Amino acid sequence: MEAILVPLRIAAGVSLVFLVPGLPWSYALLARDRLSILERLGVSAILSIALVPLGLFLLNLPLGIAIDVRTTLILILALTLTGTLAALWRTSFRLRALSMASIGMPKCLRRPISAASVARLLALGMIMGFAFYTSLIPRLDYPYPLHTDEWTHFAEARTIVAEGTIPFFDPVTGEDRADPITEETRSSPHFEVGYHLFLAEFQLLTDLPWLDIFWYLPSAVFALAAFSAYIFGNRRGFGLEAALFASFVPTTVRFLGPAFVVPVALGLFFVPLILFLMSTFWSSKGLPVLLLLILSFLFIAHAPTALFAGVIIAVYGLFQTLRRVLTRRPIGRRALIHLSMVLMAIALSSLPILAYNGWLVGEAAGEPLPQELLVAPGDMIARLGYIPYPLFVLGLALLAVSGRRTDRALLVTTVLVSTYAFLHYQFAVGNAALYSRSILYLSLLLLLIAALATSRIRRWLSARLSPTWANGASFAAAGLVLAAVMLPSVALNLQSRYEERYYHRINDIQYEDFLWIDNNLCSGYERALTDPQFGRAFAAVTGRHAYAAIPATAAPVRPTEVAEAKDVLADGVPDADWLREHGVSMVYSMRSLENPELVKVHDRVYVLPEAEVCAAEGIHLSVTSAHRWRPFDTENP
């Protein structure tokens, strides 16, 4: 029975996370706009991802409502019902008007499915599978999180699930959050708490083990990113090319990327859909509300992505509105009101993060990064496979000569992002994290524009071959020629993914030790001294705190606790009083310790054998001749 129920729960949980709450809202906010089935699914997915974590954020922080399975399900039910009512109202339906005669299949479903449509869907599925696999490559020989940031998100999300609330402290150290540069501390939520709520929601609804989530979720999200790129390009005739090129976005330990469980990987799914919405549904009355919801989530999940999305929205909005000026026609009052509502949505969406994390945002805005640690944007050239670059140049020329205002908006957006990356690299203008993420998003824009150029080349080849070949044959021949040209780029892209060196913070030995600590030591042992490189993994796996951990930043400044922890461990932890003074009750050391005041309860695990550590649970520690730990109840020894 369990073999049936577990897959059913996973399937139900995935649908609740990615589809159910957002589907009715896609009809409510884009009620009178004609979307294909795939477009509707894409918009529903970003709304589902945005609405539930945003709702949990507002329920927990201002109202104090616990975050658990029941709260999440009630919230999804409420969002689904209100979205359905709003959709019925927007489409002017009345319950009394509904009848079996009026309920029928949509026209798009009643039409016969052509062989070309089936072929496109199969090709899209293959491209999404390719994106899934490329994102999975770094994890094929390593089952644990690959980056320091992943361990941080693991610890934060696990704490939300375990405590049922958003932590105002650092789950890794158990203390107030500290800025890694200034070391200023303050009690506040993490500035990417929205992403942690998304991970917590996914775990609560699917009940998957955390390691399984970190293994498969990034690949699934990257496949969705290829899907969203297809949606962006499909109406312009380069959907498959856009999906294929988007799957080339690389992953590096410096710039991050789609192979990691990090917010920017989720942003790669959002950005093409935002481009699609701004290109296609600018005049929709529901667009300002839709953008407000999406940006509000992005600001609490990943501020750099929200800022990048804000730039896209502002540029596209200005081009869409000023088209009347360019054609020497007066701008209507309705167009100005619509633009002002969209710009107001951008401003209002930043209020949640400013209310709870304004100080961290202010510190991060001026976070410096030494020049020697900056990675040049040219480092991405080989990872993208060279061939997309001449296609990108051709695409820029096509955008420049195009009369479409949306093409010019895409061109200006690309120029703005490129200019920012250049200014930061050369003159240290702006924020280091924003620079790193801008390189990733610039890669995405580059690939989408290269896909546009590729589609034009394909059409040109097809037209040239059509006098000699049948239409279908000429189309297939053009596709085969382009595929042959792209093969070297695909090979280079795969090679870079296999050769990239990722962080392997722990191995099977450390993971099993951390599991033992989680399952066997009482909750009184809540803080450990361990090598700082293990600190974040220790906190994530055990649910306890580490005295010191390497910060999740590339800056060379390290908290003083990191150096102090290394020194104490190097000396063999000679002073147990130092542990008591710093609230440390256990030590995890790869070296054997000879301190007589420490009890070895497991391989590499030493604890203070004081009765008060576990007094609240009525458990003491007893040392056997083999120096193993043996719990016993004080009432039944």
**pLDDT given for residue 226 in this prediction:** 97
Query: Which of 30 and 616 is assigned the larger pLDDT?
Result: 30
- Output the CA–CA distances (angstroms, integers) from residue 632 to 120, 132, 166, 368, in the order listed: 65, 48, 34, 53
Question: What global pTM score does this model have?
Answer: 0.90
**pLDDT given for residue 633 in this prediction:** 35
Query: Which of 363 and 212 is assigned the larger pLDDT?
Result: 212
**Could you tell me if 271 and 312 are in contact, meaning their C-beta atoms sit under 8 angstroms apart?**
yes
Tell me the Cα Rg of the chain: 27
Instruction: Give the residue-averaged pLDDT of 374-399.
Output: 80
Determine the Cα–Cα distance for residues 68 and 170; give it in Å rounded to an integer: 20
Residue 98 has pLDDT above 50, yes or no: no
Confidence of residue 627 (pLDDT cuts 50, 70, 90): very low
- Output the CA–CA distances (angstroms, integers) from residue 361 to 138, 151, 300, 351, in the order listed: 32, 22, 11, 12
- Output the CA–CA distances (angstroms, integers) from residue 561 to 100, 168, 549, in the order listed: 70, 20, 8
Confidence of residue 323 (pLDDT cuts 50, 70, 90): low
Determine the Cα–Cα distance for residues 417 and 437; give it in Å rounded to an integer: 10
Work out the burial of residue 142: count CB atoms within 10 Å of its CB; fewer than 13 is exposed, 13-18 middle, 19 or more buried. Answer: middle
Backbone angles phi, psi at 586, to 5 degrees: -150, 160
Name the residue among 462, 492, 486, 464 with its Cα closest to residue 474.
462
**pLDDT given for residue 555 in this prediction:** 46
Q: Is the dihedral of CA 160, 166, 167, 171 positive or negative?
A: positive
Determine the Cα–Cα distance for residues 225 and 266; give it in Å rounded to an integer: 8
Instruction: Give the residue-averaged pLDDT of 51-73.
Output: 95
**Residues in CB range of 628: below 8 A, 6 or more apart:** 601, 602
**Residues in CB range of 331: below 8 A, 6 or more apart:** 321, 322, 324, 325
Per-residue pLDDT tens digits for 106-156: 555 455 667 778 888 999 999 999 999 999 999 998 999 999 999 999 999
Backbone angles phi, psi at 475, to 5 degrees: -65, -45
**Could you tell me if 24 and 84 are in contact, meaning their C-beta atoms sit under 8 angstroms apart?**
yes
Name the residue among 300, 55, 84 with its Cα closest to residue 192.
300
The partner residues of 622 in beta bridges, in order of sequence, read 630
Per-residue pLDDT tens digits for 203-218: 999 999 999 999 999 9
Lowest mean pLDDT segment, chosen from 98-102, 136-140, 447-451, 541-545:
98-102
